[in-house]
């Protein structure tokens, strides 16, 4: 990462995609701020100001470039505790936490003081949480104006503005243009029948191995809930907002020419659109920095530098998947998950993709009896673990979203009967997208290092920190390429307590 203005300017001149989303440049002669990969003529260095986030650039009085579109830049995955607090706060803000909450309540939610939150947030993003929230709402609105045919009123509401007048005023104040002028040169062309109303790009740092992501998600797809169809991932989504259920479907395809994924959500998901986009970024690991990962993993990652760390649509879903994936093949785990969704998931409107169910909510499993869970073929011990997870998640006793203290979170999980080190670590890696987990008791790992004890394997894996989760996925991918899928999936050889 650049450390001074000279280094920032050198990265800008190189238009190096490794730095996309890591900093932004404000051009004083034009009043515009850009991504470091912007294709316009490079400005003179004396006209450049550098910022750690788009929100900081806007707070400095700059408006977003209409050509490189800063709202499409990938995020940055945190790898230390201070960054983790700031990033968790930013993710909650992007999901709409401050629409009704305050900075103080956000800090309490994260378990830190308001002052500490403001300090770590300013250090990471160069602005306050409130300023970041305002900038994110504006950037989402700008994206919707460019990539949808929604009315200005619908754009304002979807972006989290309670007042269209306030939205219009803020756009004019910040961008020196009206919403209609912003849309003028980028009107959505999805107007023909059968075409989606929304098609939004989510950027990433190349390379991204889309085929590997689809293969991973496809063989683990929960029947009736999600599917891989051709070159696309399709999924039913359901959220509760203000005591009202919001549901719909999302389709995701690759757009390699723009180093982005195309996300096509149902119009019914507009009230929770920021949350949908955040979850898609997490599911497909779009904030990863492959160059940084490969620099540490070396030869292990050399043949597949675009391999990503697939996330989960929710912390609870990720935890449920981890419990049912213990000690069984992928096919067996997917069968149990599909039965679970069919029995305890809410029905969804039928679709052309054949999807008709939502993944079970924590509240639904908390209400279920062990006998009801066991009746679909789930071993009773795992049924107890699932119900315990559901009860603690539904009551708020166990936090499975925006987890900052990962070690504490893992310790809490291991107190649940039926969840041991492998399962807790797998939850941290998949549900919380923590990049530095290594499962030294994993079956595939033990096969790779047959002469080493789990402790020795753990010591060996420290060379891959802070990207040990990626190292684990590369080991699994290598095993999958050399063995049948049923024997190559991640399993734990020792029964967990």
CATH code where residue 216 lies: 3.30.310.20
- Is 213 found in the same domain as 175? no
Count other C-beta atoms under 10 Å from residue 244's C-beta: 8
- Domain presence at residue 366: yes
CA distances from 327 to 154, 173, 255, 422, 441 (A): 48, 58, 36, 10, 12
- Is 325 found in the same domain as 396? yes
- Domain presence at residue 283: no
Instruction: Give the CA angle between residues 497, 494, 370 to the nearest 5°.
Output: 40
Task: Cite the active site residues.
Answer: 34, 442
Per-residue confidence (pLDDT) for residue 3, from 0 to 100? 64
- Domain presence at residue 295: no
Per-residue confidence (pLDDT) for residue 196, from 0 to 100? 44
Per-residue confidence (pLDDT) for residue 481, from 0 to 100? 59
- Domain presence at residue 99: yes
- Is 93 found in the same domain as 25? no
- Domain presence at residue 252: yes
Domain that holds residue 216: 200-278
- Domain presence at residue 299: no
Per-residue confidence (pLDDT) for residue 469, from 0 to 100? 97
CATH code where residue 30 lies: 3.40.10.10
- Is 378 found in the same domain as 327? yes
- Is 411 found in the same domain as 274? no
CATH code where residue 335 lies: 1.10.340.30
Per-residue confidence (pLDDT) for residue 493, from 0 to 100? 39
Instruction: Give the count of domains, the chain.
Output: 4
Residue ranges in the chain modelled with pLDDT below 50: 187-188, 190-194, 196, 483-495, 497
- Is 143 found in the same domain as 161? yes
Per-residue confidence (pLDDT) for residue 497, from 0 to 100? 43
Per-residue confidence (pLDDT) for residue 397, from 0 to 100? 93
- Domain presence at residue 189: no
- Is 468 found in the same domain as 333? yes
How many helices (H) and strands (E) would you count in the chain? Answer: 25, 9
Are the C-beta atoms of residues 214 and 235 closer than 8 Å to each other? Answer: no
Per-residue confidence (pLDDT) for residue 221, from 0 to 100? 98
Per-residue confidence (pLDDT) for residue 84, from 0 to 100? 84
- Residue 284 CA to residue 305 CA, distance in Å, equals 15
CATH code where residue 98 lies: 1.10.10.60
DSSP-derived letter for residue 359 is P
- Is 209 found in the same domain as 337? no
Helix, strand, or coil (residue 424): helix
Per-residue confidence (pLDDT) for residue 490, from 0 to 100? 46
Q: Can you read off the two tokens belonging to residue 40?
A: 């316009």
- Is 92 found in the same domain as 37? no
- Is 432 found in the same domain as 333? yes
Residue finishing a domain among 255, 278, 301: 278
Per-residue confidence (pLDDT) for residue 100, from 0 to 100? 82
Are the C-beta atoms of residues 351 and 357 closer than 8 Å to each other? Answer: no
- Is 243 found in the same domain as 109? no
Per-residue confidence (pLDDT) for residue 293, from 0 to 100? 96
- Is 439 found in the same domain as 355? yes
Per-residue confidence (pLDDT) for residue 241, from 0 to 100? 84
- Domain presence at residue 191: no
């Amino acid at each position: 990462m650049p450390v001074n203005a000279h280094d920032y300017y050198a990265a800008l001149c190189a238009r190096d995609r490794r730095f996309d989303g890591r900093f932004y440049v404000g051009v004083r002669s034009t009043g515009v701020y850009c991504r470091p990969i912007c294709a316009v003529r490079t400005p003179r260095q004396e006209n450049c100001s550098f910022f750690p986030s788009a929100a900081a650039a806007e707070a400095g009085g700059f408006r977003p470039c209409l050509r490189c579109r800063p709202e499409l830049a990938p995020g940055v995955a945190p790898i230390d505790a201070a960054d983790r607090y700031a990033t968790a706060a930013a993710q909650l803000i992007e999901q709409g936490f401050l629409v009704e909450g305050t900075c103080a309540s956000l800090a309490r939610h994260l378990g830190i003081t308001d002052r500490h939150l403001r300090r770590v947030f300013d250090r990471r993003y160069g602005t306050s949480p409130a300023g970041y929230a305002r900038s994110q709402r504006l950037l989402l609105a700008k994206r919707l104006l460019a990539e949808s045919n929604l009315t200005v009123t619908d754009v304002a509401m979807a972006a989290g503005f309670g007042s269209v007048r306030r939205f219009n005023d803020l756009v004019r104040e910040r961008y020196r243009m009206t919403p209609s002028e912003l849309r003028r040169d980028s009107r959505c062309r999805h107007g023909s029948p059968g075409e989606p109303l929304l098609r939004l790009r989510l950027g990433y740092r190349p390379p991204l191995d889309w085929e590997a992501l689809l293969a991973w998600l496809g063989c683990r797809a929960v029947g009736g809930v999600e599917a891989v169809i051709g070159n696309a991932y399709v999924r039913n989504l359901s959220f509760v907002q203000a005591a009202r259920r919001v549901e719909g479907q999302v389709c995701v395809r690759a757009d390699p020419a723009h180093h982005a994924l195309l996300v096509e959500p149902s119009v019914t998901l507009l009230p929770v659109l920021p949350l949908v986009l955040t979850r898609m970024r997490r599911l497909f690991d779009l904030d990863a920095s492959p160059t940084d990962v490969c620099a540490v993993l070396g030869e292990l990652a050399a043949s597949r530098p675009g391999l990503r760390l697939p996330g989960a649509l929710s912390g609870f879903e990720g935890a449920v998947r981890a419990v049912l994936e213990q000690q069984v093949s992928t096919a067996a785990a997917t069968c149990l998950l599909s039965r679970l969704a069919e029995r305890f998931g809410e029905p969804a409107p039928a679709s052309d993709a054949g999807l008709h169910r939502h993944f079970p909510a924590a509240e639904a499993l908390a209400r279920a009896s062990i006998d009801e869970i066991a009746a679909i073929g789930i071993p009773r011990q795992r049924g107890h673990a699932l119900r315990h997870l559901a009860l603690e998640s539904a009551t708020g006793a166990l936090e499975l979203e925006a987890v900052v203290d990962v070690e504490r979170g893992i310790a809490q999980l291991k107190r649940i009967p039926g969840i041991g080190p492998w399962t807790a670590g797998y939850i941290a890696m998949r549900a919380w997208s923590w990049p530095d987990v290594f499962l030294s008791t994993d079956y595939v790992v033990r096969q790779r290092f047959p002469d080493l004890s789990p402790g020795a394997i753990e010591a060996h894996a420290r060379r891959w920190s802070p990207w040990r989760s990626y190292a684990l996925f590369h080991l699994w991918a290598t095993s999958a390429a050399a063995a049948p899928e049923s024997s190559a999936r991640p399993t734990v050889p020792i029964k967990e307590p």
